[in-house]
Amino acid sequence: MTDHLDDLLPPVEYITDAYKAAGKLKDKRVLITGGDSGIGRAVAFHMAREGARVAIMYHSDAESAEETRAGIEAEGAEALILQGDTADSDSCAATVAAVIDAWDGIDVLVNNAGMQKPFDSQAEISDADWQKHFDVNMNGIFYTTRAALEHMSEGASIINTTSVNAYVGNAALVPYTATKGAIVAYTRALALELLERGIRVNQVAPGPVATEIQLVFKDFDKEMLEEMSSPMGRMGQPRELGPAYVFLACQDSSFVTGQTLHVNGGMITNG
């Protein structure tokens, strides 16, 4: 499935026929926050192809969410589309409750919802800007995970989306980068906490990926988005992220917890 988002982005690819499923997530119950677009949509499609039932939480774009529903169902999977706000604890809890009402449990939680806004300097960052980044990007992970853990059992998997920026920094994205660093620490700590329960916690650190979130740079610096690339000389595609989440969700990664998968075109080679 391919979308054209903007002239500044290449055609966006969420999944292709080249991805061959093997039933790695057959009958698993998956919740993905921010699952209506970008990386979240790609993850939804890949997990659906692997046989999972997929619920997505979206914030405001109902049309995009319905497009994702159609894609999940096209893979022959059951879809659950839930509107919510990761910045609000009650909304996160209600989203989890809706999944439990429908499927009586959660096997895989993907905390993917996020936002970013560029700034020229610290002086431009208001208290509200700073707080919003943490409310959406970090607090939402805590709220959703706390609610979901009541309904997750041994063998379950939690996957958080951090960013390469947590490791290399980004001068234009200081609040965003700070939240992504917090996610790294949270992932490692939670992985240790949940060892005794047999629940694995890992994260994926994408590099620049052709998704809607990059369009915030259009009016900030028009050349920035055009020049954004990796050592491979291009931005990544959402379809190149989806299999990383499948790996961390399924039993192929049964001996992996507290770890980071760097999918960034070679921006960093350790960490």
Distance CA 96, CA 105 (A): 9
* CA proximity to 4, closest of 205, 241, 215, 219: 215
Distance CA 147, CA 137 (A): 16
Distance CA 55, CA 72 (A): 9
In this structure, is the dihedral angle defined by the CA atoms of residues 211, 223, 179 and 263, taken in order, positive or negative?
positive
User: How many helices (DSSP H) and strands (DSSP E) are in the chain?
Assistant: 9, 9
- Residue 186 annotated in active site: no
Catalytic residue, from 14, 58, 143, 176: name it. Answer: 176
- Tokens representing 205? 């650190």
Catalytic residues: 176
